Structure 1
Amino acid sequence: MPIQQAAPVYSVISIPLQKKSRILSTPERHYRVLAKYSNTPSARSKQTNGILGPVHLKSVNVDVEYVGLLQVGTPPQEFKVDFDTGSSDIWIPSKNCERCGDHPTFMQSDSSTFKPFSNGTETSANTNNTASSTSSSSNDKDKSTIMKSTWTLQYGDGSAVQGVKGYDNLSVGNMTAKNQLFGLANKVSAQFANDPELDGIFGLGFPKLSLMGTKKSFVENLKDQGMIKNAIASFYLGSSDQGGQLLIGGTNSSLYQGNFTYLDVTSDRYWEVPFNGIKVGDRTIMSGGGGTSVGANGSTTAIIDTGTTLIVVPPSMSQSIHMAIPGAEYNNTFGWQVPCVQNLQQSNSSNSQYSNDIIFRLGGHEFPIPYSDLIREKTNPNNSTLCYSGIAEAPIPMIIMGDTFLRSYYSVFDYDNKRVGLSRSK
C-alpha cells in the first residue's frame, strides 16, 4: 500500500490495530468516558529518518476500542494497548499488580534497559530504593521520593489506576523511543482488569495533559532521537472486521481520499478544536455553544479522541440531535435508542430522514457522518427495533468526538504544528 513519505524509509512493518466484539458494550463505554473525563483540569540512537510501519489496529467490542501491540524493555515484553489521543500517559500492568487478572505484567528485573523513577531523576535499574528507617530525616526524604515516583488516575466511580513510574525503551512497529517515561500499574479498576483484549493505555495527547509529568510524547521523542522527520500520528479506524491502522511519521494515502482539512488546536493539552454546531440533513439543530466546553479564546471546542468509543455531547445537544431522528427514544435505563439498521433497510427512504447525515461543524468546516454509523448493538432482547445510539449524553463541559465520528475520517495528529487533519476514509 502506498505511503506518503515524510523522509526515506529504511524499515516498514505492519502491526494491526484490532477490533473486538462483545454485546452490551455501549453502556460500558459510556460509563468509561464519564470516568475518563471526570478529572479534567476544569474539574481536576540510530538515525533512520523513517516513517513507522503501519500498526494494524484490532477492533474490539463492536468497534468499542482499537488495540495494537507495544513492546517494552530489553529483551522486549509485549502488551496490547489502546492508542489514545485523549490522554497523555502510557501505562501497563506491573509484576506487583494486585488484581490484573490474566493480563501480562511487566517484569522490570528482566529488562536490562529499565530505570526506576527516583526523585525526578533517572536511576540505574539495580538501584535499591527501599526506604530507610534509621532516622526521621531519611524517612521524610524517602516519603518525598515515593510521592514523586507514584501516580494515580482517579475515576468518577471512585476506582483508580495506581502505580509507579519508570523509564525504558518502548517500541511500536519498527520504531523505538529510548528512555521513555511510562507507568507501571500496581492497582487497576475492574473495567480494565476484566477487559481481556486490553492490557494498558498508550497516551498520545500533548505532554501538558500528562499526570505523570511526561515532558515529551512518544512521537516527539521519536523525532528528537532521529527516528522520524515529522512528529505526527495518523489513524485509520475501520468498521466491521477491517480493524484499523496507526502510522507514525506519515500518512497512508491508500486509506483516505482528497485533501486534508486542518484544524488548529485551541490549547495544546487535548487535541481540542473549535466546535461550531450540528446539522441533521439540511436542518441546523444547534449552532455553536450550548453550554459546552470553551477554549482559551472563549470559543466552543470539541476533543478529537481515538480512545473514546462514542460521540459524547451535553444533554441538551443530545436531545436536539435525537429528536431530529424519527423513531429515536430515550430510556432511563438504556439511554438514547435509535431504529436499528435492519429496520432502516425496510423503511421508505423518501419518507424518512434516516438517510440523512449527521453533520458536525468543526473549525468552520462541515464533517458529515452517515446515520448508519450511529447504529450500535441492540439495547434489549425484548425490543428488536431499537439499538443503542453512537451519540451519548453526559453532564460534562465538553464535546468528545470519539470513534463513532473518526471511523468516517482518516485523522492526522500533528505535534509540530499543533493541528488535527481530517480527510474522508476510503
Structure 2
Amino acid sequence: MKWLLVVLACLQVAEGAVRISLKKGLSIRDKMRAAGVLDDFLRHIKYDPVKKYQPRQGSVVRQPITNHLDSSYFGEISIGEPPQKFLVLFDTGSSNLWVPSTDCKSPACFNHAKFKPSASSTFSPGGRSCTVSYGSGSVTIALGWDTLRIQSITVTQQEFGLSQEEPTQPFYFADFDGILGMAFPSLAVGGTATALGGMLEQEQLAEPVFSFYFSRQPTYEYGGELILGGIDPRLFQGDIAWAPVTQKLYWQVALEEFAIGQSVTSWCSQGCQAIVDTGTFLLTVPQEYLESILEALGAQETSYGYAVDCADTHSKPHIAFGIGGARLALPPTAYVLNSHGYCTLAMEGTYLPSQDGQPLWILGNVFLKEYYTAFDMANSRVGFAPSA
C-alpha cells in the first residue's frame, strides 16, 4: 500500500506540473579555452564572480558575464505567435527574461536564435530599453510584450527583453541563446515583469513552486530537470529541509554553520548568508576564509584555479553547510573537478559580503547536483533534499 501511495503521488505531480528537460553542453570556459581566447579574456576584465550580487543602481544591474562561464544547463522556451524557439539558461540568480533580437548586430548574436518581432502576430513593442552591465561589457535590451510558452504553460503579453548589443566574449561561445531569470521581481532591471510572475498571475502553475534536479552524470540530451509547479519525490531521498528566504532579491538563506570533515568552523557563529544560484556553476567562498579552506583541502593556487592531486581526491574530507537545521554535505568527488587528469577545487573567492554585512557564500551547480532544490514562492523559502 505504501508503494502504491508513492506511485500515485508521483503521478499526481507529473500531471499537475510541467517538466523541462535540461541539456548539458560544454561550458563557455571550456569553449573559450579550446579557442585559445580564455586567458586573454580573463586578463582584460576585473573579475569578481559575485558582482552579480551587488545592489541595483537605477535601471542598471551589474552582473558579470563571467558568472556564467561555467554554466551549461539550459532548456527550451518559445516566444511569439507562431512560436519562435530559444534555448535559455534558467537562472535563479537574476530576474529578467531576454533573448537575442534580429536587430542585434553584435557577433555574439550571429550564431544564436534571434527573435523577429515582425514574424509574430502578437508582439507589442515596449518603447523603452534597459542596460544590464557586466564585468566585461553591457547587454542592451529593448523591452516588448509577447506570448511566452514553456510546454503547456502559456503566458500572454509577457514582458521580455530583446538584446540589441551583446559583448562578443563570452556570449559568442554560449550554447544558450538568452536567460530566463527566476529570482524575485525586486531584482528585475527597470522594474520589468518576471516570467514567474506572469505564470502566477495567469494561473499557469499547478502550485506556486518550482524545483531543480541536476544529474551527477549529465549528458547533452539529459542534464537534469526543471519542474514548474511541483516537486517530484522520485528525484530525491528523505525529507526536504526548508529554510526561509532572508532577503527577497535572490533566493538567499541563512547559513548556520560550515564544517570541514568533523570540524565545525566558527566562521558562521555570527551568521552567514548563502545565495542559491542555478546560473552559477562553482561554490563561491568568502575571501577571508579561502586560505584556510585551501590549506585544509591541500590545494595550491595556479593560473587555472586551485589545484589538487587527483590521486588524493577520495581521501579529502567532506565539507558541509548547515541550512534549515540540516547538515548538507559535499563529498570531495563533488567539489573537485577533474579535467583531463588536471584537478582543481570547484571554488572561487569573493570580497563581497551580503547586504547585512555577513559573509556571503554562493551555492552553484556543484552543490545543486548533490541536492534536489525546491523554491517555494508562496512561502518565500528554499528546500533541499539529497538527490536520488
Partner Cα separation in structure 2 for residue 35 and residue 169 of structure 1? 36
Of the three residues 228, 240, 255, the one matched with 2:205 is 228
2:294 to 298, 307, 322: 322
State the shift of 1:267 in Å.
Answer: 1.2
Sort the Cα spacing of 1:421 and 1:2 in 2 relative to 1 into closer, same or farther, 3 A.
farther
Give the aligned partner of residue 161 of structure 1: 139
1:339 corresponding residue in structure 2: 309
Query: Structure 1: how far apart are the matches of 2:234 and 2:153?
Result: 22
Aligned: 1:18 with 2:23: yes
Q: 1:371 to 1:417 in 2, by over 3 A?
A: same
Contact between 2:213 and 2:224, CA under 8 Å: does it hold in 1? yes
Q: Deviations over 1:219-257 (max 9, x none)?
A: 332232122242111000112225100001101111111
C-alpha displacement of 1:70 = 1.1
Structure 1 residues 419 and 307 mapped into 2: Cα distance closer, same or farther (>3 Å)?
same
Report the equivalent of 1:47.
none
Q: Structure 1: which 5+ runs fail to align?
A: 45-60, 119-148, 291-298
Cα gap change, 1:24 to 1:271, in 2 (>3 Å): closer
State the distance in 1 between where 2:19 and 2:379 align.
27
> 1:196 Cα deviation (Å)?
4.3
Alignment of 1:191-210 (within 5 A): 191-210=169-188
Number of equivalent positions: 352
Taking structure 1 as reference, are residues 6 and 88 closer, same or farther at Cα in structure 2, changes over 3 Å only?
A: farther
Question: Which structure has greater helix proportion?
Answer: 2
Q: The residue matched to 1:96 in structure 2 has which SS?
A: coil
Residues 370-385 of structure 1 mapped to structure 2, 5 A cutoff = 370-378=331-339, 384=341
User: Secondary structure of 1:250's match?
Assistant: coil
Q: Pick the aligned partner of 2:281 from 301, 305, 309.
A: 309
The root-mean-square deviation of aligned C-alpha atoms, in Å, is 3.0
Q: Is the 8 A contact 1:89 1:212 kept in 2?
A: no
1:312 to partner: Cα distance? 0.7
Distance 2:48 2:103 in 1: 24
Q: Distance in 2 between matches of 1:33 and 1:79?
A: 30
| 1:300 partnered with 2:261 | no
Equivalent position SS for 1:413:
strand
Residue identity (%) = 31
Q: 1:180–1:264: structure 2 CA closer, same or farther, 3 Å change rule?
A: same
**Secondary structure of the equivalent of 1:376?**
strand
* Aligned residue identity for 1:72: I
> Does the C-alpha gap of structure 1 residues 393 and 8 become closer, same or farther in structure 2, counting only changes over 3 Å?
closer
Whether 1:269 and 2:249 are equivalent positions in the alignment is: yes
Give the TM-score normalised by the residue count of structure 1: 0.75
Cα distance change, pair 229–361 in 1 and its aligned pair in 2 (3 A): same
1:96 partner letter: D
> Which structure's CA Rg is the greater one?
1
Q: Superposed, which structure 2 residues align to 1:64-75 within 5 Å? A: 64-75=71-82
Alignment of 1:19-418 (within 5 A): 19-21=24-26, 25=30, 37-38=50-51, 40-42=53-55, 44=57, 64-99=71-106, 100-118=109-127, 149-157=128-136, 159-215=137-193, 217-240=194-217, 241=219, 242-288=222-268, 299-325=271-297, 327-331=298-302, 333-340=303-310, 343-344=311-312, 352=315, 354=316, 356-378=317-339, 384=341, 386-397=342-353, 398-418=360-380
**Helix, strand or coil at the partner of 1:182:** strand
Q: TM-score, normalised by structure 2?
A: 0.82
> 2-side partners of 1:62 and 1:110: how far apart?
32
